[in-house]
Amino acid sequence: MTEINNREPIEIIEVKGPFSFKIKADSRKWSAYARQGVIENVKVPRTVSYLSLHESRMNPAKGTQDGCLQTVDFTKFGRSEQLHVAI
């Protein structure tokens, strides 16, 4: 599968096991898989938009996933959350 070399990063859709995964690309016309390869995890930057403080205070559920507020899992209450509460 030499066609996968020197390409833009390809998104991994599903991890099937410790040594296999499914990618978001049509590989049916690529050459046959010959032997092992090396995969590199590339962090691709993306643009994220947030609501203003005023908008968030007026409608806290707006902009959240499925209109639900995000909650804190207090069983995993870590240092960053403790610092946030302290400040």
Q: Averaged over 48-71, what is the pLDDT?
A: 70
Nearest one of 15, 13, 36 to 25, comparing CA atoms: 13
pLDDT at 64 over 70: no
Of 1-5, 68-72, 76-80, the range with the highest mean pLDDT is 1-5
pLDDT recorded at residue 38: 83
**pTM score, two decimals?**
0.47
pLDDT at 75 over 80: no
User: Can you tell me the distance from the alpha carbon of 42 to that of 11, in angstroms, rounded to the nearest whole number?
Assistant: 10
SS (H, E, C) the chain: CHHHCCCCCCCEEEEEECCEEEECCCCCCCCCCCCCCCCCCCCCCCCCCCCCHHHHHHCCCCCCHHHCCCCCCHHHCCHHHHHHHHC
Question: pLDDT class for 59, splitting at 50, 70, 90?
Answer: confident
Domain locations in the chain? 1-62
Residue 23 bridge partners (DSSP): 12
